[in-house]
């Protein structure tokens, strides 16, 4: 009889690894505590992987006081992930249709078959990952793999679906194997990643026909992977009712991309048509104003940041000291009505979610004065801010925002202001509609 | 940190124990293999309990070949039990309403609270069961419990709901503690059960006012318990959406009931109105006839016994040699058209499902000749058989049947023949409508 406890941990780890990747949750070595739907989970991150192949210690369910009370097994994690993914998605999303099934259906179906991951890889890659036992062997495998398998596949690529080719050949191919070799301590992932990048550059030089695909792999800040535990379009049952994971694409940080060139902090936009805007001042009442706005019900319900005054003072001082985001107070016809956070996507959590440009800017908005809501005020402000940001940074090609998909009023206001709905992205705690205002 | 693996086993065992009880599945020491919805499960029964407090070794998920491939944890068992309970119940049963939740909701809610069983007992009984460490102490506890707790409760009983009083005071009270003490090896359950029965007899003699309740506990072949994993009326969410198990009553074999007096085998009914009936003859073509009927699609879909001829020969010979059931061929106007199994409930699996009388008789029916179906033929036959059985055994007060609740045609035919629908009972593999034809 095989090591069932080890297998149970493997299975739970695979689900946790997916959840972390698919919700774009940052991971660092040490203690990791997560809330997955109705479940609080704690573990030790024992290996942080650039390809997402993180290694976890025992995964526990935590009680209200944060103490471990049970081993978090696959069935339970699947149920919690499903409950969460369904709650984040809109009621009419495919994942909320009863006939779509849940991740638990997959677990019930997979266990007797020995399935570990809702999206297993090709058998030969699994065999490879298991057979290699030292760094030299790993290097030889990579060389052979690129020559005999990746290159022919890339050359045979029909220039159609960039995302599908990336998922099949890169993230769920060579990168997946590199991740497992790293996690198992066979080799440093960065060593194989450097080697792979060098070989890909060689391919691009020698074969101009496939430059587009290879450059995408080498340069894009994110690459496409397949999601199986989070995403509103997921299904776990085919139309005939049999269990089959229908995965959906999502973007994941690209471990092959070089560090992006530096970009300046957030520029101060000039607003038109009666609007004024100033960075928050730490003295003179702005902190109190933001604190008051954040405590009002209509703001708190979406921002969930009804913090004490002292915490807001720290938060604002921190933002003002850095180059990630710029907190601002907006006035309309001389009266302060709204709070804005303008941010560089490159320094934001959104950088893990879509293939951004280095100069992309983002905006969070809270209209603090309840009587200023409605009559298109928000829409007008968003348009003015987007236009102001594009004017303030000539290299910026787009302004983005990420309202909760459940916040129809906000999504609608962005849409009316000229933002297009690009995609739905999973984040820790919500599914966001990525709204994009392109430079025209 | 407490013993999480031990707790996980405890939790999985509690669910398995409930499933076994609530589906009236017989349990014997040794290897136990079950199919719970989509999941095949295997374990070792290390302790068989008269009160249902069975002890299990490690509980495993089995692969297609019957080999263990995973530890069957609580989340998984809950999901499998829910899937099965929902599939057995009719689509419009409460358990199939999305807002009723599933057993998985309970697990997700219970784990952080340290919950082990969907229907925990009163805290003081848990404390008692944990504190007693030897047989003498157990005897002292039983004496004190009957005097100071059970007797006052029984005397205070308002003669209303027999089932509720039984569940609260007996099955989920004193019997539950006796079961745990037995499973933990503190005392033989039979010893405490004998003692309890003696004390209850004493109570009935001294307090005629509560004779009805106490006699029920001492004499009924089954007693009421609460079901939490099987049953079409189950719910796991309150109307407000919060997690709360709404359990349903079901009958369980009564460990206090003396062995029922012997009853004769199944009498041969005389049928009227053109019907004839004979016990199956092992020579002369009857075995071949039954085998052919069982292989036809319209019979196989409900009986699921399209066995090879040899197996049917063994089956029929076995039935004819015993006193449990009598296999018969039924003719209409001289032509053989149907197969019947007439049985003593007392010797049948149904004996675990409702408070039967010793002389209760049951009937299984298969109309083998497809062209004899319809035009009320089945209904007429069922009425003739029920009346014939009541005539053949003057002590028999009722004839019963247990068609699958999904088999509307069969349930309808029994109803038209004069059977009333008594209750829904869970059995291994189906939910049955208990149909009862009373002597009038």
**Residues A232, A94 contacting (CB under 8 angstroms):** yes
The angle formed by the CA atoms of residues A394, A395 and A400, to the nearest 5 degrees, is: 95
| Chain B residues lying within 8 Å of A38, measured CB to CB | 105, 108-109
pLDDT at residue A158, as a whole number: 77
Interface contact B4-A40, CB threshold 8 A: no
pLDDT range class, residue A352, cuts 50, 70, 90: very high
- Chain B residues contacting A via beta carbons under 8 Å: 1-2, 4-5, 7-8, 11, 37-40, 60-64, 67-71, 73-80, 83, 98, 104-105, 107-109, 111-114
- Look at A43-47, B239-243, B410-414 and tell me which has the smallest mean pLDDT: B239-243
Q: Where are the alpha helices (DSSP H) in B207-271?
A: 211-219
Q: Do A4 and B63 touch (CB under 8 A)?
A: no
Confidence bin at B2 (pLDDT 50/70/90): low
Contact A7 B69 (CB under 8 A): yes
User: CA of B301 to nearest chain A CA: how many angstroms apart?
Assistant: 20
Residue of B nearest to A114 (CA): B69
The DSSP result for B162-204, as a single string, is HHHHIIIIIIIIIHHHHHHHHHTTSS-HHHHHHHHHHHHHHHH
A140: which residues sit within 8 A by CB, 6+ positions away? none
Cα angle for residues B249, B250, B254 (degrees, 5° grid): 120
pTM score above 0.90: no
Would you state the structure tokens that stand for residue B408, as one six-digit string?
């509307």
Q: Least CA distance to A78: which residue of chain B?
A: B75
Residue A260: pLDDT over 80? no
Q: What is the pLDDT of residue A411?
A: 95
pLDDT for B132 equals 94
Contact A386, A417 (CB under 8 A): yes
Quick one: closest CA in B to A61, which residue? B112
CB spacing of A71 vs B5 below 8 angstroms: yes
pLDDT, tens digit, 9 for 90 and up, residues A179-209? 999 999 999 999 999 999 999 999 999 998 8
Please judge whether B111 and A39 are an interchain contact, meaning their C-beta atoms are less than 8 angstroms apart. yes
Instruction: State mean pLDDT over B32-53.
Output: 95
Instruction: Report the share of chain B in percent with pLDDT over 90.
Output: 81
Q: How does residue B239 score in pLDDT terms, banded at 50, 70 and 90?
A: confident
Does A2 score more than 70 pLDDT? no
Are A76 and B111 inside 8 Å of each other by CB?
yes
What digits encode the pLDDT tens for the residues A125-179? Answer: 888 888 999 999 999 999 999 999 999 999 888 777 899 999 999 999 999 999 9
Work out the pLDDT band at B372, boundaries 50, 70, 90. Answer: confident
* Per-residue model confidence as pLDDT tens digits over B263-305: 999 999 999 888 999 999 999 999 999 999 999 998 998 898 9
Question: Minimal Cα–Cα distance from B3 to chain A, Å?
Answer: 9
Is residue B221 predicted with pLDDT exceeding 90?
A: yes
B39-47/B30-36 β-pairing: antiparallel
Residue of A nearest to B65 (CA): A112
pLDDT, position B156: 86
Percentage of residues in chain A having pLDDT higher than 90: 81
Quick: pLDDT tens for A50-79. Answer: 999 999 999 999 998 999 999 898 999 999
Write the pLDDT tens digit of every residue in B257-273.
988 778 999 999 999 88
Within 8 A of A91 by CB-CB distance, chain B residues are none
> Considering CB atoms only, which of B8, B73, B108 is closest to A38?
B108
Q: d(Cα B429, Cα B301) in Å, to the nearest integer?
A: 13
Closest partner residue to A64 (CB to CB) among B67, B108, B112 is B112
- The partner residue sitting opposite A79, judged by closest CB among B2, B4, B104, is B104
Task: Work out the mean pLDDT of chain B and round it to a whole number.
Answer: 93
Q: Which chain A residue's Cα is nearest to B38? A: A108
Tell me the backbone φ, ψ of residue B169, rounded to 5 degrees: -90, -35
Query: Does B422 score more than 70 pLDDT?
Result: yes
**Best B3, B73, B98 residue to mutate vs chain A (most A CBs within 10 Å):** B73
Task: Look at residue B416 and tell me whether its pLDDT is greater than 70.
Answer: yes
Contact A39 B108 (CB under 8 A): yes
CATH numbers and ranges of domains, chain B: 2-113 (no CATH), 123-227 (no CATH), 275-438 (3.40.630.30)
pLDDT tens digits, A300-351:
988 989 999 999 999 999 999 999 999 999 999 889 999 999 999 999 999 9
ipTM: 0.79
Residue of chain A whose Cα is closest to the Cα of B81? A108
Q: What is the pLDDT of residues A380-414, one digit of tens each?
A: 999 999 999 999 999 999 999 999 999 998 999 99
- All residues of chain B having their beta carbon less than 8 Å from the beta carbon of residue A41 are none
User: HSE-up of B166 (CA within 13 Å, CB side)?
Assistant: 24
Nearest CB to B61 within list A70, A105, A111: A111
Give yes or no for residue B205 having a pLDDT over 90. Answer: yes
SS3 A288: helix
The pLDDT score that the predictor gives to residue B131 is 92
Q: Quick check: B235 and B100 in contact, CB under 8 A?
A: yes
Query: Are A73 and B74 an interchain contact pair (Cβ–Cβ within 8 Å)?
Result: yes
Please say if the pLDDT value at position B370 is more than 90.
no
Question: Looking at the DSSP assignment, which residues form a beta bridge with residue B252?
Answer: B223
Return the pLDDT at A259: 81
Q: How far apart are CA B128 and CA B116, in angstroms?
A: 17
E strand map for A7-77: 30-36, 39-47, 55-56, 60-62, 68-71
Report CB contact under 8 Å: A39, B75: no
**Who has greater pLDDT, A235 or B375?**
A235
> Distance between terminal CA atoms of chain B?
64
Structure tokens at A51: 């390809």
**Cβ of A109 and B40 within 8 Å?**
no
Rg of chain B, C-alpha, whole Å: 23
Q: Is the predicted pLDDT of residue A46 greater than 80, yes or no? A: yes
A36, A46 Cβ separation under 8 angstroms: no
Burial letters for B80-108: b for 16+ Cβ neighbours within 10 Å, e otherwise? bbbbbbbebbeeebebeeeebbbbbbbbb
B125 pLDDT band (50/70/90 cuts)? confident
Euclidean distance between CA atoms A330 and B120, whole angstroms? 56
Residues A220-240 have a mean pLDDT of 94
Interface contacts (A, B; CB < 8 Å): 118
């Amino acid at each position: 009889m095989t090591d069932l406890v080890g297998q149970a941990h493997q299975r739970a780890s695979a689900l946790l690894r997916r959840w972390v990747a698919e919700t774009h949750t940052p991971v660092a070595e040490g203690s990791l505590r997560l809330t997955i739907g109705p479940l609080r989970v704690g573990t030790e991150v024992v290996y942080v992987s650039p390809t997402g192949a993180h290694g976890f210690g025992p995964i526990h369910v935590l009680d209200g006081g944060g103490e471990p009370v049970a081993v978090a097994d696959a069935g339970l994690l699947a149920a919690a992930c499903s409950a969460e993914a369904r709650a984040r998605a809109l009621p009419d999303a495919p994942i909320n249709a009863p006939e779509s099934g849940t991740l638990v259906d997959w677990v019930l179906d997979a266990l007797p078959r020995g399935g570990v991951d809702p999206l297993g890889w090709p058998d030969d890659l699994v065999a490879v990952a298991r057979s290699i036992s030292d760094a030299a062997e790993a290097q030889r495998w990579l060389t052979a793999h690129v020559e005999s398998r990746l290159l022919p596949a890339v050359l045979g690529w029909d220039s159609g679906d960039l995302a599908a080719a990336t998922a099949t050949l890169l993230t769920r191919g060579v990168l997946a194997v590199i991740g497992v070799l790293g996690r198992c301590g066979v080799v440093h992932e960065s060593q194989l990643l450097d080697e792979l990048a060098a070989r890909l550059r060689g391919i691009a030089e020698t074969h101009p026909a496939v430059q587009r695909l290879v450059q995408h792999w080498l340069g894009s800040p994110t690459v496409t992977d397949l999601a199986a535990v989070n995403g509103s379009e997921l299904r776990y049952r085919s139309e005939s009712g049999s269990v089959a994971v229908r995965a959906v694409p999502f973007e994941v940080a690209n471990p092959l991309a070089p560090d992006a060139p530096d970009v300046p902090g957030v520029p101060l936009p000039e607003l038109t048509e009666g609007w004024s805007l100033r960075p928050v001042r730490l003295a003179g009442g702005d902190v109190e104003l933001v604190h008051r706005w954040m405590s009002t019900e209509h703001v708190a319900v979406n921002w969930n940041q009804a913090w004490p005054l002292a915490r807001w003072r720290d938060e604002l001082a921190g933002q003002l000291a850095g180059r990630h985001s710029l907190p601002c107070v907006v006035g309309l016809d001389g009266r302060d009505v709204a709070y804005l956070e303008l941010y560089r996507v490159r320094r934001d959590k959104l950088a893990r979610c879509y293939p951004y440009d280095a100069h992309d800017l983002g905006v969070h908005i809270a209209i603090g004065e309840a009587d200023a809501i409605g009559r298109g005020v928000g829409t007008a402000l968003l348009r003015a801010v987007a236009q102001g940001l594009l004017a303030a940074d000539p290299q910026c090609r787009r302004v983005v925002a990420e309202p909760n998909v459940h916040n129809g009023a906000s999504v609608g206001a962005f849409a009316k202001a000229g933002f297009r709905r690009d995609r739905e992205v999973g984040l820790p705690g919500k599914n966001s509609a990525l709204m994009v205002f392109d430079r025209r």
